[in-house]
Structures are given as structure tokens and as C-alpha cells.
Structure 1
Amino acid sequence: MTGVGQPLGFLCPAPRPSPAAPWTAATPWLREVLHLPSADRPSVPLVTTLYLPPGDGPFPLWVFNHGKSFGGDARAQPRCEPIAFARVLIRHGHAVAAPNRRGFADSGGVHCSHWLNPLAGAGCCARDIWAAVEALLAHPKIDAGRIVVAGHSYGALGTLAYGGEFRHPGVRALVNFMGGLRAEREDGWQQPLLRTFRHLGRRTRCPSLWFYGRNDSFWPIELARSLHAAYVERGAPARFVDVGHFRDDAHGLVLDEAGVVRWWPEVARLLAASGMRGD
């Protein structure tokens, strides 16, 4: 299931990005709730919210992969609805899909992960991401040749695993918003995570864009830079963006309307360089 698409680098100059377009309550969009089949036999439903611009398409697609809350049952997490993220991309002519992986919210199945083996957890996420993308390729309004897969926190770790092992040919780039997996209280979780990032970087040539902040309650910025260094050690193309301080906790930047100005200019450059412009 490894993708064979041609990687796109960041070395060529890209056109100047347009500013994030204004959003009002009257801005049109369409919203569908899909039950996509997992890769299991028998399959279970991956409940997915799909946001579409008005019109017939086909539209470039972003697949946004959610994180995992500390403590409690993953099923108790609300269904992933990244409104602040989707609004910007829809205004620029992109579709956004937000699948809920196995064992999260109202999706079926069970998700098992532990900070001692983040590579296994990343692979579990990646399998569900593959299944969601595979099903979305059949949607009549989706352009199967223009896809970006993104993720937040644990979902970003799964996104990087998907890019190395499972990537579809139409996936042109990956975006990592504050990705990783850590222990809640125990010590020693940093080394397994570093080894996982090093392993994932050895297995991909798909370009990725990384966002980390200086007041992230999950990842100190020094650790985030170490994760990036481990990932690019063998030549994986990944550009690191330090978004500085954001509110009380930079970890939530991508889910916050106020965070758009921090990530949109860099994403717009990525879209221009990757031939992913939707408008």
C-alpha cells in the first residue's frame, strides 16, 4: 500500500501566499457525515465528517486526523469537527474530511496504544487513515490526485506513519500540527518517541510541514526540534515552523480561530509549491 507519487520538495521558490480569506456565518459550505469502512475483516464504521465547498468539484482534499485526550475512555471523546481548520480551507476551494479512528467517539472497534510503544500506536492510526482515504477516493466531489493528509497531536504521529507506510499516490504532502504520543504522568516517554520519529523518517520521502509552539503543554520546543532532527536524519523532507507562544497553550493552535494567522501563510506556500491550490 505504499504510495508511488513523486515527492515535491520545498527548495523551489513558491508564489507569495494569499492571506486567509475572511469567514462569515453566511459563507456557504456543505457538510456530510459518512460511515467509512475500516480495513478490518469484518470492517467497522469510521464515522467521518466531510466539509465541501459549494459546487460540483472535484475539490482538492485535506484529511484531518484528531488527537487523543488524556485519561478516560476514547469513546467519550466528541466526534472530531475541526471547524476553525475547515473554514479556511473550504473558503479556498478545498474539501476537508475529519475521520474518527477505531475506538474514538462513535466509530466502531477498539483503539489500543501505549506510550511505551508509540510506533505501534502510530501504525494503528495509519491503518485507519489509509482506510478513510481509500473510501474518500470514491466520492464524486473529491480530486483523487490532490490530497494533503494532516493531523493534530496523536493524529499527527499517525499521519507521519501513514506517509511512510501507506500513502496513496495522490497524497502530495503531510502536515504535522504538534504531533506525538506521551505518558500522562510516568517518566521516560521521550526516548521511545524519538526512536519512533527516527524510524518513520527513514521510510518516507513525502514532504511534510511541521508546526510546534514554545508554550506547548505536551512538547517542550527543544524536544520538538529533537523529534524533527531524528525524522530528517536520513533525508526525509520536513520543514519545521516554530509558531512561538500562543494563548495559554500552543498545543491547541490548529483548533482555534485565532491560530489561523500562525499556520495559514505557511500552508498556503505549501499548497502553491505542491500544485494544490483550490481557488
Structure 2
Amino acid sequence: MHRVSIWCRGSSRCWHFSQGLQKGLPLKYRSVVASPAYCPAPGRARRLLHIASREADPVMMVTTLYLPSGPGPFPLWVFNHGRNFGNPVHQARSRPDALAKVLLREGYAVAAPNRRGFADSGGRHLSHWANPLSGGLCCARDIETVVLAMAGKPYIDASRIIVSGHSYGALGTLAYGMKPHAGVRALVNFAGGLRGESDQGWQEPLRDAFRYYGRRARVRSLWLYADNDSFWPLDYARGLHEAYCEHGANAEFVNLGHFKECAHRYVLDPDGVGFWWPKVAELLREIEA
């Protein structure tokens, strides 16, 4: 079914619908400009998109988009956020500015979606740390929606896509790797996993989830962990990697070393760019060779 972008005059907001769903739009949105080739003006590096899920009753996912200057098409980097303890509705909108800044210099467009039920996106987040396999699959559903929407943009090179995630978002990224878009070149796992607040009960289910995703993996992945991450002791993180690779998945594990007091959020820290970027730059060189 043909999908179009709907842009409100005087607004940075952009909705994405199949033509069949436009009839259900609120009246105030029916006088907008509709164009399947709408491309945001490149004057500002960061803007918001509202991307609709593919259900009959679509959920809007607020996505922070960073675009390099110029007309494109640009390779695409998708960044999937983690989860704080507590109600995800109260979580801040995903804005990985430090990561986006370095990737913009490399000519990448960066899309940072807020999955359903997080921040100001619609819908409900239904997964739980006690069932990380299901949780990762829920994430993968929303990641797929965003990748497909972005791959259809005229300013995106749909043959050059990297999908990444931090913590819970990395778990979802690896789940997405079971059925990736044809243009996805690699996945990047920034300290991935999903755990409860206590130290008991989540370790084995999480290992099983990684094993399940790895058995069905269809694209290479780079795993970037640290030796002072309070969420994942390094030996446990290595065990997740071993479980993922049991059936031959192509995944490189890297211990980045020590970062500040706790390394878990290194990819979101402006001071952390030098910590993780060399390995990512190496990956990009290999992909583009």
C-alpha cells in the first residue's frame, strides 16, 4: 500500500500514513500538504518526525532526526534508546546528541525513535524485564516500522543502514537483526540487555533471549561493553555474547575498558565519544570498503 508523508504548514512535524488511513485523520489535518517525496529543509540539523505504526489504529512514534547539510541521499544510522527504571512515559525523549554529532560529520543521517509507550510517543509499553525475549521482540516491531519509514525517504540511501541500540534498545536491535531490512549492513550493541532492579532472577532469561536472537541472526553485529558497567559485569556480558554466537552468528565482542565511575551510559555522554568511536569508525571503514 502506498505511504505518504503529511507535513503541517509552519510546523516541523511530519506524519506518515498509508493512503487508506488518511480518511481517518482528524479534520484539522486534512488541509495539509501531502507528498510522498517530502524532504525536510536541511537548515537545522535536528528536527522531529512522527512516524505511524502499521496497525489499523496507528500509534505515533516521536523520532528525533538529525540530517547533515546537503540534499543527500545519506546513509542512515538508527539509534534505539534504553529504558530507565520506573514508568517509561516519564522517560525523556531520546536525543543522542553526542553520537549524532560525530555521525553527522561522517555524512550519516541519524534517526532516534522513541518506541511506543516511551516519552511522548503514543501507545503502551507492554514488556517486562522478567521476559526479555518478548521485550526484545516488542522493540523490534517498532524498530522495523521506523527503518521502513526512513528507508522510503528520498534523502536516505536505503542500501546503507546501520541499526544500533543502547541497553534495552540494543536488545531490541539484536531481535530486529533476525529480520532486518535488506539495506542493513550491521548492528551495533552499546551495552545491551534488560534487567530488573534486584540482582536476582533476570540473568538466565536474558541469556536465553540472546541465544534465541543469535540463532536466527542475519546480519553482523559489533558489541561494545566496558569493564565497569554496573548493569552487566564483564564476564556476564561475555556470556551473553557466547550464547548469541552458539549457532554461528557473526558478532564481535569488544571490551572498551574503564569509563568514569560507571560506564553503562557511555554512549550518551559527550565525554564518551573517544571511548567508543574508534571501534565504530573501524566498522564503518570495513562496511564502506
TM-score (norm 2): 0.83
1:133 aligns with 2:147: yes
The structure number with the bigger radius of gyration is 2
The amino acid across from 1:31 in the alignment is R
Alignment of 1:85-234 (within 5 A): 85-164=99-178, 166-185=179-198, 187-234=200-247
* Per-residue deviation, residues 59-118 of structure 1 (Å, max 9, x unmatched): 0000000000012x1011111000000000001111100000000000000011112210
Q: Which structure 1 residue ranges, 4+ long, deviate > 4 Å from structure 2?
A: none
Mapped partners of 1:269, 1:144: distance in 2: 21
RMSD: 1.2
SS at match of 2:141: helix
8 A contact 2:168–2:194 mirrored in 1: yes
**Deviation (angstroms), 1:176:** 0.1
Report the counterpart of residue 38 of structure 1 in structure 2.
Answer: 53
Report the counterpart of residue 248 of structure 1 in structure 2.
Answer: 261
Mapped partners of 1:33, 1:183: distance in 2: 31
* Per-residue deviation, residues 14-48 of structure 1 (Å, max 9, x unmatched): xxxxxxxxxxxxxx852220000113221110100
SS at match of 1:223: helix
* Residue 32 to residue 140, structure 1, CA distance change in 2 (3 Å): farther
Mapped partners of 1:181, 1:41: distance in 2: 30
The amino acid across from 2:104 in the alignment is I
8 A contact 2:230–2:262 mirrored in 1: yes
Which of the pair has the greater relative contact order for Cα pairs under 8 Å at 6+ separation?
Answer: 1
Query: How many residue pairs were aligned?
Result: 247
**Deviation (angstroms), 1:205:** 3.0
8 A contact 1:216–1:250 mirrored in 2: yes
User: Larger deviation: 126-135 or 262-271?
Assistant: 262-271
SS at match of 2:102: helix
Report the counterpart of residue 80 of structure 1 in structure 2.
Answer: 94
* Per-residue deviation, residues 163-212 of structure 1 (Å, max 9, x unmatched): 11x31000000000000001112612100001110111000131000011
The amino acid across from 1:77 in the alignment is Q
Seq. identity, %? 61
Mapped partners of 2:67, 2:51: distance in 1: 17
**Deviation (angstroms), 1:155:** 0.2
**Deviation (angstroms), 1:259:** 1.1
SS at match of 1:258: helix
TM-score (norm 1): 0.86
